[in-house]
Each structure stands twice: as C-alpha cells, then as structure tokens.
Amino acid sequence: MSLLQIDKMTHYFGGLRAVHNYELDIKPGQVWGLIGPNGAGKTTIFNLITGIYQPTEGKIILAGSELNGRSPHEIASMGIGRTFQNMLLWRHMTVLEHVKMARYSKLSYGLFGAFFGTPRRQKEEAESEEKAYQLLSIMGVDQFVDQIVLNLPYGAQRRVEMARALAMEPKILFLDEPTAGMNPEELVQMMKIIRNVHNDFGLAIFLIEHRMKVVMELCERIQTLVFGEVIAEGTPEEIQNNPKVIDAYLGKETVE
C-alpha cells in the first residue's frame, strides 16, 4: 500500500501554472528526493500537500484518507511533519517550547486541565517534555533547551526545527532544503541526522534539495521538476545519467 499518493495535481497562481499534472507515490519508509531549478515549483508542491494552498485540480491521499479540502493543522495531525525552506521558528519561544508545541494534537487534558492544572495535565506535559528532551538529544541540541531559539547558531536552529517536526510523530517527514546555507561540516552532520532519523524511526522522508551530493546519497528515488512538470523520475543513477536532467538542471552543476 502506498503512504502518500498524488494523482494529476495541477495548481495555478492566477495565470501562472506553478504545478502541472504532478504525480507521486511514496511507500512507507521510502526516502524520496525532489530536485529542480529555482522557481520550478518544489516548495509549492509541499505547500499544496500540507494544505497551505488548495490544488486547482488533483487528488492527494495519505494512508487511505483524502487530504483535499482539509486545513493545514488537520493534515499535520494526520501524519505529515515538515520543515520550511526559510525556517519558520517562533521568535519568543524557547527550544523546549518549540518541540513541546508540536505535541499539541496529542494532548487530551483540554481547557479544564489548562485552567486548573489538573494532575492529568502535569502528567501529559511531563511526558511531552520527556519526549522533547529525547528528540533534542538525538538532534544533538539538548544543551540549548531553555534558550530562545533565535539565539542559537544557524545549524542548531535547523535541527530544532526538525526535532519539532518529529515531535508530532509523523508518518512522513517533509524537508525543504534542510542543508541550505550550511557549511561543509554542518552539512555532513545534517546528512547523518537525516539518515539516523530514517533508520531509527523507519520514517518515510520527502526532501527538496539543491545539493546533488545530498540527494544522491540519501534518496532511493528522485523526481526532477522543471517549470512545474516532472521531466524525469528514477533512481539516483538513472537521474544522474538522464540527458533531459543533465540538460535542464545538472548541466550547470558538477555531480560529485
């Protein structure tokens, strides 16, 4: 059975066709990559799946349930965790608060617990705190727990954002250029983290990347998007050797 399936999805921004007849079929536990030049529509595809935009046409199905028409928070609690290309963090909140926030839909103590601090609330908050600590230490940023997230170094912020996405216990994790702006050292660490997350949680991952090295090493299948259309899909080797891809995209970059 497929985990995330998309059928002929098309989206227009006014007159601009940003995505055209997009298809996807990710099975549980797979790592997929999405590459393509700037403005190809990669982030738009993430935003369409996660409910930020509604596709003009096409059906999106996650583990058997249709996502079309649902609001972003519903889709998120159904099992899609994500990070953002330009990192969307909460500027007044601490690292711990960030990760705990993603447990929102898992809490059941409700408003009564929130108002009166019932034992059930203490218990659930303690559990989610423990979970947050675990994730932060997996990400190697547990030394920052009580700091305001904007005071962290860039690479650490990226990892907090990823820990936050994992805290909601997603079925699939969307990463929008997780290594953007990182130095070679941070890059190696991030790749290790992504691999660990995939292995430890058996999590499916869908990742947008500009650096070929990252996609080629991490992904089992890759799609190449140009002007909103998938021009090639296949294994890393197939993509690397596809003349269309080389022509439209790889030609400019050296494949390491």
Partner 1 sequence: MEASSEKLSNITRLSKISIRTFVSQVPLLGWLLGALIAVALEHFVGTPFARALGLPKALSLFGFLIILKKPFLIPSAVAYVLLIYILPIGIVARSSASIMNKLAGKLLDFPMLFSVIIHLGLLYAVVHWWSDMSLYRNDVARFMLIAVMVTLSLNIINGYMGEFSCSHPGFLALGAYSASVFTVLLFVDDRIFGLAWLPKAIGPLFFPIALIIGGLVAAVGALAVAIPSFRTRGDYLAIISLAFMFIVKSLIENLEAVGGPRGLSSQPNWASLPVVFMCAVLAVWIINNFVRSTFGKALNAVRDNEMAADAMTVNTRRTKMTAFMFGAFWAGVAGGLYAHVVRYVNPGDFDIKKLAEVLAMVYFGGLNSVYGAIVGACGISLLGEALRPLALYKWVIIPLLLILVMIYRPTGLIAFKEFDVKKLIQPKKVSP
Choosing from 10, 56, 77, 85, the residue that interacts with Mg ion (CB under 5 A) is 85
DSSP state of 232: E
13 lines the binding site for ligand ATP (CB under 6 A)? yes
Which stretch in 42-50, 102-110, 126-134, 219-227 sits in contact with Mg ion by CB under 5 A?
A: 42-50
Q: What gap in Å lies between CA 236 and CA 19, rounded to an integer?
A: 23
Choosing from 42, 70, 159, 221, the residue that interacts with ligand ATP (CB under 6 A) is 42
Least distance in angstroms from the C-beta of 79 to partner 1: 10
Choosing from 11, 20, 70, 103, the residue that interacts with partner 1 (CB under 8 A) is 103
Q: What gap in Å lies between CA 60 and CA 159, rounded to an integer?
A: 28
Which stretch in 95-103, 184-192, 211-219, 230-238 sits in contact with partner 1 by CB under 8 A?
A: 95-103
* Burial zone of 107 (CB within 10 Å; 0-12 exposed, 13-18 middle, 19+ buried): middle
40 lines the binding site for ligand ATP (CB under 6 A)? yes
Run of H or E including 229: strand 229-234
CA–CA distances in Å: residue 81 to residues 31, 48, 249 = 14, 14, 28
Amino acid letter, 162: M
151 lines the binding site for partner 1 (CB under 8 A)? no
* Burial zone of 228 (CB within 10 Å; 0-12 exposed, 13-18 middle, 19+ buried): buried
71 lines the binding site for ligand ATP (CB under 6 A)? no
Contacted by 18, from partner 1, Mg ion, ligand ATP, none: CB < 5 to 8 Å by type = ligand ATP
Binding site for ligand ATP (CB under 6 A): 13, 16, 18, 36, 38-44, 85
